[in-house]
Amino acid sequence: MGKPQRRFGKEFEAEAVWLVETSGRTQREIAEDLGVGLSTLRRWIDKRRDREMEAPKRTPNGLTCVSC
């Protein structure tokens, strides 16, 4: 039998991705420290990247930029 599947909340995922982006540490180090698989961490990073690409660009006053 394999390990039982663990569930991580959105906040935990966001914190993990933030660590990758800001800490200067490797993805492997962060995954090991957090107790998650490297492939799981990479999936969270990809998911965030995909969301950022889909989100409409906003101007400083909060309006959607149509020419960005």
Asked if residues 23 and 13 have their Cβ atoms less than 8 Å apart, the reply is no
First to last CA, the chain: 51
pTM of the predicted structure, to 2 decimals: 0.71
Residue range 2-36, pLDDT digits in tens: 677 788 999 999 999 999 999 999 999 999 999 99
pLDDT of residue 59: 64
pLDDT of residue 4: 74
pLDDT of residue 44: 98
Domain ranges of the chain: 10-54
Residues 32-56: what's their mean pLDDT? 91
